[in-house]
């Protein structure tokens, strides 16, 4: 990003990309998006992150509280990991979509 912003795209190493796939599922607080619930404690992060190929990213204390990223060799594997990770999170009244990346694997 810095190289692009400073007009120096030709300086430095080229970008490297992995062949792995990633799927992200957002955990939203109760009432999101119209009236997010008050700040509540998010639990289970350590359990979710203990799964190989799962990362938890934090968004805020209300609204979109966290995103769980599953990384795998296929979209199916990545999706499975993301949903396993999100199933381990604990946030009173929270919700998430259940159809993320579903059309890609069908």
Q: Which helix (H) or strand (E) holds 28?
A: strand 21-28
Query: pLDDT digit string (tens) for 19-46?
Result: 999 999 999 999 998 988 889 999 999 9
Q: Domain ranges in the chain?
A: 18-105
Nearest to 67 by CA among 21, 27, 39, 36: 27
- The pLDDT value recorded for residue 77 is 98
User: How far apart (Å, rounded) are the C-alpha atoms in residues 37 and 25?
Assistant: 19
Confidence band, pLDDT 50/70/90 cuts, at residue 106: confident
- Which has the closest alpha carbon to 22: 48, 53, 1, 66? 53
Share of residues in the chain with pLDDT > 70 (%): 100
Given CATH 3.90.600.10, say whether it is the number of domain 18-105.
yes
Mean pLDDT of the chain: 93
Per-residue pLDDT band for 53 (boundaries 50, 70, 90) equals very high
């Amino acid at each position: 990003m810095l190289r692009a912003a400073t007009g120096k795209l030709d300086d430095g190493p080229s970008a490297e990309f992995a062949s792995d796939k990633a799927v992200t599922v957002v955990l939203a607080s109760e009432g999101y998006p119209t009236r997010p619930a008050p700040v509540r404690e998010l639990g289970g992060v350590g359990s979710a992150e203990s799964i190989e190929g799962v990362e938890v990213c934090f968004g805020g204390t209300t609204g979109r509280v966290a995103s769980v990223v599953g990384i795998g060799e296929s979209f199916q594997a990545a999706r499975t990991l993301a949903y396993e990770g999100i199933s381990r999170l604990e946030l009173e009244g929270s919700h998430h979509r259940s159809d993320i990346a579903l059309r890609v694997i069908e």
